[in-house]
């Protein structure tokens, strides 16, 4: 993941079935310290931000207009 990654798609919810839904998009909360440990902070199904291993996600690129609308929502 990069500092520019704002959204990811869950590709694996093993051990986190209540927190993550496969094929669902999640917003990334920048956390440089977590990234050093191959972790990513996302807003999960509880509505709170939590750390997960990056292997559970794939970064996605969205058109800038879509990204702005999602962040503003």
Q: Has residue 17 been placed in a domain?
A: yes
Residue pLDDT tens, the chain, 73 long = 555 668 999 999 999 999 999 999 999 999 999 999 999 999 999 999 999 999 999 999 899 899 889 888 7
Please state the domain count of the chain: 1
The pTM for the full model equals: 0.86
Q: Are 20 and 8 in contact (CB under 8 A)?
A: no
**Alpha-carbon span 19 to 15, nearest angstrom:** 9
Check which CATH number belongs to the domain holding 18 and give it: 2.30.30
Q: Which domain holds residue 41?
A: 7-72
């Amino acid at each position: 993941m990069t500092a520019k990654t704002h959204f990811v798609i869950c590709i694996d919810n093993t051990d986190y079935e209540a927190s993550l839904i496969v094929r669902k998009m999640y917003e990334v909360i920048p956390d440089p310290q977590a990234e050093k440990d191959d972790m990513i902070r996302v807003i999960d199904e509880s509505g709170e931000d939590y750390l997960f291993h990056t292997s559970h996600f794939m970064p996605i690129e969205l058109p800038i207009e879509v990204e702005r609308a999602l962040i503003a929502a």
